[in-house]
């Protein structure tokens, strides 16, 4: 499938990840665009991906599950399907697990349609909420059956993973995170995982065959097909 220009539909934010929670010397930090990724399937025939059939020309949207890479027009990459619970969390190889996967499913059930058809603030806030669930270390406390209430842990501008600079995006992300209750076991999200170190992109999350909103696709946004791309974010782990 092909990644559509103008790239990520959203807003620029600043992120910081520090397991100590002080953010005086974060493991990684920087600026990036948080938002919606748009795709077009390019295939000679139907493709079964994670139990869902894709056809040539199908268009849909995803949100990035990690901050360790970004898509670059003009380079080809390979993805494979993966269960959301098996996707990496905390920026390393640790599996996300059923608890985080359930929170992501709740978020997608509640706000995915608004995120793919709304404003750049909507798209960015949804992406920030996804990253908060994926990266916030303190969720392990609750996922193991203890710790403080979920509402105290899922805060996009506090604790071990934080987003700053765009208050409108952060405020909306926090409002959507506050809607989550946890405990959801069923999961219909699609996990897109990069295959191979040199031919893979950052992990993506999507709902089965949710098409791009027609008004945006037809509104002359310059959505010209480009090829999957990936490069390591500069500054991550000294890269």
DSSP string over the chain = -EEBTT--EEEEEEEEE-TTS--SS-SEEEEEEEEEEEEE---SS-EEETTEEE-TT-EEEEEES-SS-B--TT----EEEE-GGGSB-TTSS-B-HHHHHHHHHHHHHHHHHHHHHS-HHHHHHHHHHHHHHHH-TTHHHHHTT-SS-HHHH--TEETTEEEES-HHHHHHHHHHHTT---------PEEEEE-SSSS----EEE-TT-PPPHHHHTS-----B-----BPPTTGGG-
Who wins on pLDDT, 2 or 128?
128
Going by pLDDT thresholds of 50, 70 and 90, the confidence category of residue 155 is very high
Percent of the chain with pLDDT over 70: 72
pLDDT at 75: 58
pLDDT at 73: 62
Domain of 61 in residue numbering reads as 2-238
pTM for this structure? Answer: 0.82
**Mean pLDDT within 159-180:** 93
pLDDT at 163: 95
Q: Is the pLDDT of residue 233 over 70?
A: no
Domain count of the fold of the chain: 1
**Mean pLDDT within 222-231:** 25
Who wins on pLDDT, 226 or 5?
5
> Mean pLDDT over all residues of the chain?
77
């Amino acid at each position: 499938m092909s990644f559509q220009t103008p790239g990520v539909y959203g807003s620029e934010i600043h992120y910081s990840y520090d397991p100590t929670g002080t953010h005086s010397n974060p493991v990684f930090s920087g600026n990036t665009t948080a938002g919606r990724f748009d795709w077009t399937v390019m295939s000679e025939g139907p493709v079964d991906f994670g139990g869902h059939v894709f056809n040539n020309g199908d268009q849909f949207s995803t949100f990035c599950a990690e901050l360790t890479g970004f898509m670059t027009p003009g380079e080809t990459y390979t993805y494979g399907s993966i269960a959301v619970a098996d996707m990496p969390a905390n920026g390393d190889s640790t599996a996300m697990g059923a608890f985080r996967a359930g929170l992501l499913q709740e978020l997608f059930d509640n706000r995915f349609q608004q995120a793919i058809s709304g404003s750049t603030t909507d798209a960015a806030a949804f992406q920030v909420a996804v990253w908060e669930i994926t990266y916030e270390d303190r969720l392990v406390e609750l996922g193991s059956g203890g710790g403080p209430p979920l509402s105290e842990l899922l805060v996009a501008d506090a604790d071990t993973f934080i987003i700053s600079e765009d208050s409108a995006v952060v405020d909306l992300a926090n409002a959507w995170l506050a809607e989550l209750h946890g405990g959801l076991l069923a999961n219909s999200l699609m996990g897109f995982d990069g295959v191979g170190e040199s031919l893979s992109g950052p992990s993506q999350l999507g709902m089965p065959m949710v098409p791009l909103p027609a008004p945006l696709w037809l509104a002359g946004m310059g959505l010209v097909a480009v090829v999957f791309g990936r490069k390591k974010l500069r500054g991550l782990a000294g890269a």
